[in-house]
Structure 1
């Protein structure tokens, strides 16, 4: 399986008063990982609005889930992931 980080074309850094996170432009599109492991991804090309909206949502979600049990509850994580997929499809 190819490494998606290979040939990374650029990075974006995002910060709130509690977190700093990074997004990278990979071969397969923009990928974002927050400090608590919340992810956002889109195929290339992605609009600036999409990136801002989704990365902001991921940052807020990371802050809201910090130190909660949901990170260890598989059923809740899968339900939250399904909602995220519906949201991304709607965009």
Structure 2
């Protein structure tokens, strides 16, 4: 999955291994389709990634939401964290 910068149109990958995913476009309840993006990582006690959540904030009205999340059930997971 790739997010695309609204200003410069540069794409940044934020997930891999999406062969089985059902990807869809998203929109805010207000109809807005431009968002600021936040990626959250929940770690387990072994300091491995357990969940990845994708949060979006609509730039039109400021509504926040978690649009998807992934449970990670393998290790090691260090490659999933931003560098």
- TM-score normalised over the length of structure 2: 0.30
From the two aligned structures, give the one with the greater helix fraction.
1
Structure with bigger RCO (C-alpha 8 Å, 6+ apart): 2
- TM-score normalised over the length of structure 1: 0.28
From the two aligned structures, give the one with the greater strand fraction.
2
User: Which of 1 and 2 has greater Rg?
Assistant: 2
